Amino acid sequence: MMKNVKSFCVMVLFFVLICSAGFAAENGEKVMTPRLEGGYVVAVSRETAEAEGWKEVMEKLVAKYDADVLIYENGIMEETLAVLKEKRPRYVCFLAQPAEMKGDFVGRAHRMMRKVNEGPWTDCVWAILTGYEPADAMRAVKEGPLEIRRVLGGTPLRLECAESGVWFSELTKNEKWVKEPGGEPTRVEGPDDTTTAIIEKLKNAQLFITSGHATQKDWMIGFSYRNGFFVSQPGAKVVGRDTAGVLHEVKSEEPKVHLAVGNCLIGDIPDAENCMALGLMHSAGVRQMVGYTVPTWYGYMGWGMTDYFYLQPGRFTVAEAFFANQQALLHRLESLSPGVNAAYDRALEEGQNFVPASMDIRGLLYDRDTVAIYGDPAWDARMADGQNEWTQTVTQDAETVTITLRKTGYDNTDKNGSQRGGRPIFVFLPARADVSAGVEILQGAELGPVVTEGFVLVPRFEMEEGKEYVVKFRAR
């Protein structure tokens, strides 16, 4: 797997011991080390790096993660690529003001993050840190680890995966499900208009998952029946407008994650003043958000966030789940048509028309670069530990790395949404590995593992309960 496996193993063991400890700075704050070894880079325009407030956010990231800063000119983020290829950091944070988010900023970030190394894969765990004002971004940087126990859904959820929660159906009027700590999910009668009920629950929620029709400026709470709306207003305010036309302030201080897994356009930031994404960051406690920048129809990149983040409780942070889901999409594309990702990128660069060979390829390419992730990519926000369908462990000795999988007998299947289920098993390597000379699969080759310098992906297969499955490999 690497030229010097023994050194790698020593480094990993040392990393595991110190990664969550940090050390005390003079002002009493903790200087944090990202969970995955490999370094942290802030990519930022000169305008933002020198702007009042935003400069302080950049400096806070440097202090928190001992980060390197790469400054680019005239909005050309690609200027940083040569240095990124040299540094090959594990995390990249694009620090940007809202005005810089217009156009194809998100798509360019996606494509750039696949060029740090050779091959079709994304090479860094990344996110875009922004806000209506610098204070919004600063709150995200200052936030400590978040262990999510309370969830709120504007769409059906498997509440068994959370300690407590509630969801309201966007399809069936009055359908509401509730789970209390230690209890089972129970259906109760919900209100005809759920606007104020959702606003009240949002005050204390740590995870907010939504679907249904939306734009950059609003979210239609009910999809197949008459209900209220969440609406953005100037000054990064969000209000709920109920079916009687009455406005209700959406306000929460509780740090939270928003996964807009099935909403159109809600992740797009066309301007600062009238924008749902920025409003939720500014007034509703959202520290990290995932959402489409285009109308959604295929759904792989959106709904897959629940497959990795929510249905595998405790396993991945938000940014890690986003990364894993992206690699799953790229793997599916390469499995359907080897080289299609590179061919599509060339067509985009040359302004040429590209005709997908199938509807599946068309949908995957449509989703590939159009979903945004906002926040700090190294923020440790994850579900509280819970039941997973399988366990996965990574061990190493002087020559090999071994991944062991075991089915638990628990079923986390959830069919709500588009392109659900069947995601590959995904395992991060704690530190980047040197696989430049190739990899020898010693065990588990029949499972078709994909081994890269940063992760191992195993296509999903039927496991037998109680049986161990092993993928073992070493460098050539």
Provide the domain limits for residue 427.
Answer: 387-475
> What span, in angstroms and rounded, lies between the C-alpha atoms of 182 and 205?
17
> At 446, which CATH number?
2.60.40
Residues in CB range of 222: below 8 A, 6 or more apart: 170, 173, 194, 212, 228
What does the buried/exposed string (b/e) look like for 246-282 if buried means 16 or more CB atoms within 10 Å of the residue's CB? eebebebeebbbbbbbbbbbbbbbeebebbbbbbbbb
- Cα of 80 vs its chain's centroid, Å: 23
- Compute the average pLDDT of residues 408-437: 91
Q: Is residue 24 part of a domain?
A: no
Contact at 8 Å (CB) between 276 and 218?
yes
| Radius of gyration of the chain measured on its C-alpha atoms | 22
Partnered with residue 218 across adjacent β-strands are 231
Same domain, 292 and 391: no
Contact at 8 Å (CB) between 264 and 292?
yes
Band (14; pLDDT cuts 50, 70, 90): very low
Q: Is residue 14 part of a domain?
A: no
Query: Any idea what DSSP says for residue 384?
Result: P
Band (20; pLDDT cuts 50, 70, 90): very low
Domain finish residue from 344, 375, 406: 375
- Compute the average pLDDT of residues 210-230: 96
Q: What is the pLDDT of residue 271?
A: 87
Q: What is the pLDDT of residue 46?
A: 98
Q: Is residue 35 part of a domain?
A: yes
Contact at 8 Å (CB) between 139 and 108?
no
Same domain, 290 and 408: no
Same domain, 371 and 393: no
> At 58, which CATH number?
3.40.50
Same domain, 81 and 192: no
Q: What are phi and psi of 464, to 5 degrees?
A: -95, 135
What is the DSSP annotation of 128-193? EE--SSHHHHHHHHH---EEE-EEEESS---GGGSSEEEEE-SSSTTEEEEE-TTS--EEEEPPS-
Q: Is residue 16 part of a domain?
A: no
- Alpha helices (H) along 19-116: 46-49, 54-65, 81-87, 105-112
Same domain, 151 and 298: yes
Three-state SS at 62: helix
Q: Is residue 323 part of a domain?
A: no
Contact at 8 Å (CB) between 19 and 30?
no
Same domain, 448 and 464: yes
Same domain, 51 and 166: no
What does the buried/exposed string (b/e) look like for 137-151 if buried means 16 or more CB atoms within 10 Å of the residue's CB? bbbbbebeebebebb
Q: What is the pLDDT of residue 32?
A: 61
Residue type, 138: M
Same domain, 292 and 433: no
Q: How far is CA 325 from CA 134, 151, 226, 313, 331, in A?
A: 29, 21, 33, 15, 10
Does 168 score more than 60 pLDDT? yes
Band (28; pLDDT cuts 50, 70, 90): very low
Same domain, 117 and 184: no
Please indicate, yes or no, whether the overall pTM of this predicted structure exceeds 0.85: yes
Consecutive H or E run containing 351: none
Beta strands in 314-432 (DSSP E): 371-374, 381-383, 390-396, 401-407, 425-428
pLDDT in tens, 136-150: 999 999 999 999 999
Number of domains in the chain: 3
pLDDT in tens, 196-218: 999 999 999 999 999 999 999 99
Same domain, 109 and 129: yes
Band (31; pLDDT cuts 50, 70, 90): low
CB-based burial of residue 339 (10 Å sphere; 0-12 exposed, 13-18 middle, 19+ buried)?
Answer: exposed
Same domain, 246 and 303: yes
Does 83 score more than 80 pLDDT? yes
Same domain, 165 and 313: yes
Q: Which residue has the higher pLDDT, 263 or 20?
A: 263
Q: Is residue 212 part of a domain?
A: yes
State the distance between the two ends of the chain, measured CA to CA, in whole angstroms.
7
